[in-house]
């Protein structure tokens, strides 16, 4: 049977047609709409996020409820007595239920346990060990409980399907099930799942696994993360594993563990890349950074120690050292969006990257050529598309990454069918994008040779590889991710 293409409309129709009298609830830490004060007025906007993009049509069709932490400085001003606001604010179709956390709770739950313990625990980067503070763990448990109460108020004992997002809520699904066993609960874990040997370093490994196994459906980006979860559940909890079904039986209950590779809105990104504003940005950048006649490389990341930015810069330096003919001919633009800046390890990585870029420019730069161009301010969608289109090669060098959407955004924006992707084999994306030049970011000498290979790749070969990757990403788009998960949840609920 022909596999139909997933799009916004198909996802909408699926939910509309199938949900019946079930209510649909999504929970995430980040909210899909945020209200802030600007010039004495309340304004709203949507964070640029694949997750919001995919789940928005589901929520609109389901007229459901999205539960998230209220973070905007005007968020409290627009909610009703039940902390709800109808969204999208300009054309309300579903409800956003905001949960308020104190500064102390955000510190222990988000900055502490989620991002200083679980994030490094699940990303194997060697250099940033997890920090397991008991106080953070206690706050994490408390915040998961606060969210469980909010969900319970929203569902009010009725029939419901719930989709929990990410590692901020490892305990939530079990709590929801305890309140109402009839609710069908799924969760998507947006980061990798490590091996048992790594996961067992967590002092609360059993509680976390027990919480996750409260889900009916548990999703990861790749089969290998699913396999790691099965192995961890077997060793840490002594749970029964059904490898054929990819399921765990724990406390007499079965949790299905399946891969749902997240993606981008390929058609939208391609359309956006093909507009006048992007062309103007390209011309502006080309003039401003003197790019004419140069080979342009780009890196675009959230400033995170998992992204392998220092390794990328070391490889670039090695490339300039080993292949002196390219000096003066290659420019590398490194765009880095600041992230989680209150956390020490994130401050350190920012400084390390700045020092490395300065070092390269001092050692190799000339009066007429700056090898590395840092861009640290938030870029507009047009500027990001311009960078992707200007690049002869794009480098994604994560040390470990659940999926990595930069790689997919790059190919979706290449409406000219050209450009080379250098991609770390330690990303989830590498499982789908084998036509990229795959690298081991820890092997700096080889990485430097791969930069040369990317620059020298003949045009027909570049186009062949780009076409293949575009075909994959256009088909495995963000709506397939949302659609497959929601379809599975609907069938598990027996609707």
Q: Is 191 in the site for ligand F6P (CB under 6 A)?
A: yes
Total residues belonging to the chain: 495
Closest to ligand F6P by CB, 54 or 176: 54
Question: CA-CA-CA-CA torsion for 278, 282, 285, 290, nearest 10 degrees?
Answer: 180
| Residues of span 363-402 touching ligand F6P by CB under 6 A | 402
Site string for ligand F6P, 12-51 (x = CB under 6 A): ------------------x------------------x-x
3-class DSSP state for residue 321?
helix
Cα angle 320, 335, 299; round to 5: 50
Q: How far is the CB of 187 from ligand F6P (least distance, A)?
A: 13
Strand (E) or helix (H) holding 302: strand 295-302
Closest to ligand F6P by CB, 201 or 342: 342
Q: How far is the CB of 471 from ligand F6P (least distance, A)?
A: 25
3-class DSSP state for residue 416?
coil
Q: How far is the CB of 224 from ligand F6P (least distance, A)?
A: 17
Q: How far is the CB of 228 from ligand F6P (least distance, A)?
A: 17
Name which position in 36, 339, 376, 425 contacts ligand F6P (CB under 6 A): 339
Strands 184-188, 160-165: parallel, antiparallel or unpaired by DSSP?
A: parallel
Alpha carbon distance 178, 158 (integer Å): 14
Q: Is 122 in the site for ligand F6P (CB under 6 A)?
A: no
**Phi, psi (5° rounding) for residue 323?**
-125, 75
Q: How far is the CB of 225 from ligand F6P (least distance, A)?
A: 13
Q: Is 190 in the site for ligand F6P (CB under 6 A)?
A: yes
Q: How far is the CB of 190 from ligand F6P (least distance, A)?
A: 4
Q: Is 340 in the site for ligand F6P (CB under 6 A)?
A: yes
Strands 34-38, 41-45: parallel, antiparallel or unpaired by DSSP?
A: antiparallel
Alpha carbon distance 413, 215 (integer Å): 36
Closest to ligand F6P by CB, 71 or 320: 71
How many C-beta neighbours within 10 Å does residue 268 have? Answer: 15
Closest to ligand F6P by CB, 49 or 376: 49
How many residues touch ligand F6P under the rule CB under 6 A: the total is 9
Q: Where are the alpha helices (DSSP H) in 200-265?
A: 205-212, 223-232
Q: How far is the CB of 210 from ligand F6P (least distance, A)?
A: 22
Alpha carbon distance 116, 15 (integer Å): 37
Q: Is 166 in the site for ligand F6P (CB under 6 A)?
A: yes
Q: Are 409 and 459 in contact (CB under 8 A)?
A: no
| Residues of this chain that bind ligand F6P (CB under 6 A) | 30, 49, 51, 166, 190-191, 339-340, 402
């Amino acid at each position: 049977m022909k596999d139909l293409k997933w799009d916004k409309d198909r996802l909408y129709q699926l939910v509309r047609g199938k949900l019946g009298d079930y209510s649909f609830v999504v929970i995430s830490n980040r909210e899909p709409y945020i209200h802030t004060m600007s010039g004495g007025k309340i304004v709203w906007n949507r964070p640029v996020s694949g997750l919001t993009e995919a789940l928005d049509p589901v929520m609109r069709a389901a007229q459901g409820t999205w539960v998230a932490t209220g973070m905007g400085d005007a968020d409290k001003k627009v909610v009703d007595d039940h902390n709800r606001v109808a969204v999208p604010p300009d054309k309300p179709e579903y409800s956003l239920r905001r949960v308020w956390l104190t500064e102390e709770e955000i510190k222990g739950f988000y900055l502490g346990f989620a991002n200083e313990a679980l994030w490094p625990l699940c990303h194997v980067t060697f250099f940033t060990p997890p920090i397991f503070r008991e106080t953070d763990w206690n706050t994490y448990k408390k915040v998961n409980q606060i969210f469980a109460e909010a969900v319970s108020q929203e569902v009010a004992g009725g029939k419901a399907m719930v989709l929990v997002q990410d590692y901020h809520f490892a305990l939530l699904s079990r709590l929801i099930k305890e309140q109402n066993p009839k609710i069908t609960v799924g969760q998507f874990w947006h980061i990798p799942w490590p091996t048992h040997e790594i996961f067992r370093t967590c002092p609360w490994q059993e509680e976390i696994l027990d919480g996750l196994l409260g889900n009916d459906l548990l999703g990861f980006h790749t089969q290998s993360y699913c396999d790691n979860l099965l192995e961890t559940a077997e060793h840490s909890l002594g749970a029964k594993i059904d490898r054929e079904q990819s399921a765990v039986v724990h406390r007499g209950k079965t949790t299905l563990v399946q891969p749902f590779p997240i993606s981008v809105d390929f058609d939208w990104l391609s359309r956006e890349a093909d507009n006048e504003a992007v062309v103007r940005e390209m011309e502006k950048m080309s003039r401003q950074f003197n790019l004419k006649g140069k080979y342009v490389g780009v890196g675009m990341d959230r400033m995170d120690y998992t992204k392998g930015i220092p390794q990328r810069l070391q490889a670039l330096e090695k490339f300039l050292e080993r292949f002196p003919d390219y000096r003066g001919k290659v420019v590398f633009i490194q765009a880095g969006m600041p992230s989680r800046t209150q956390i020490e390890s994130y401050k350190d990585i920012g400084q390390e990257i700045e020092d490395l870029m300065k070092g390269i420019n001092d050692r190799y730069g000339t009066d007429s050529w700056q090898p590395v161009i840092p861009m640290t301010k938030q870029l507009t969608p047009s500027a990001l598309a311009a960078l992707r289109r200007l690049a002869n090669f794009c480098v994604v060098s994560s040390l470990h990454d659940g999926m990595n959407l930069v790689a997919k955004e790059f190919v979706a924006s290449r409406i000219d069918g050209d450009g080379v992707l250098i991609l770390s084999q330690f990303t989830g994306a590498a499982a789908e994008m084998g036509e990229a030049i795959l690298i081991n970011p820890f092997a700096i000498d080889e990485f430097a040779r791969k930069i040369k290979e990317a620059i020298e790749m003949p045009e027909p070969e570049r186009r062949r590889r780009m076409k293949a990757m575009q075909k994959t990403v256009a088909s495995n788009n963000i709506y397939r991710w949302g659609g497959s998960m929601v379809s599975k949840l609907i069938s598990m609920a027996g609707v």
